[in-house]
Amino acid sequence: MKRVGLVRAGLLFLVVASLIVGPWAQFAPHSFWEGFPGFGRAWVSADGPYNEHLVRDVGGLQLAMVVLLLAAFIRPEVVLVRVAALASIVWQAPHLVYHLVHVGDLPTLSDMVIQSVGLVFTFAVALAVLVMARGSASGASSELRRRVV
C-alpha cells in the first residue's frame, strides 16, 4: 500500500473512533456515562459521578475531531494531514496518560487490558499518520510538499 493509502487508512480509523464516541456522548450523555464502551462494560462511570457538561464536552471534542480528520482524509494535503494528526495526538496524549495512571479504577483485568490496548493503539495510529506525513515530504519538490502527502 502506498504511503498516502496508509495515511488515509489511519485517518479513517481515527474518524471512526471519534464517530463512535462523539455522537453518543453529545446526544445521549447519561447513556454514554453508564455504558461506554458497550458490550456490558462501563468505563466512564467507574471514574466518578455523572457530569452532563463534561460528557457533552467530550462529545463535542470528538465531533470536532471528526470534521478535521475527515477533511484530511478527503483531501490529504501534507499540512492538513499533519495538523489533523497533531491535533489528535494533543488531545490523546494526556487522555492516554490519565487512563494508564488510573487503570486500576476499572472493574476487571480484561477491562484494564482492553482499554489500555485500545488507547495505546489509537494514539499510535495518530503518531504513525504524523510520521508518515512528515516523511513523505522530505524528498519531494516544494510544490508537492504543499499539496499532497
pLDDT tens-digit readout, 8-64: 999 999 999 999 999 999 999 999 999 999 888 889 988 889 999 999 999 999 999
Q: Which residues contact 44 (CB under 8 A, 6 or more apart)?
A: 32, 33, 34, 36, 55
Q: Which three cell numbers stand for residue 128?
A: 504513525
pLDDT tens for 68-86 read: 999 999 999 999 999 999 9
Give the side-chain half-sphere CA count within 13 A for 146: 2
Number of domains in the chain: 1
User: pTM of the entire structure?
Assistant: 0.86
pLDDT tens for 124-144 read: 999 999 999 975 544 444 433
pLDDT tens for 111-121 read: 999 999 999 99
Question: Which residues constitute the domain of residue 111?
Answer: 3-147
**Which residue's entry shows cell 495512571?**
101
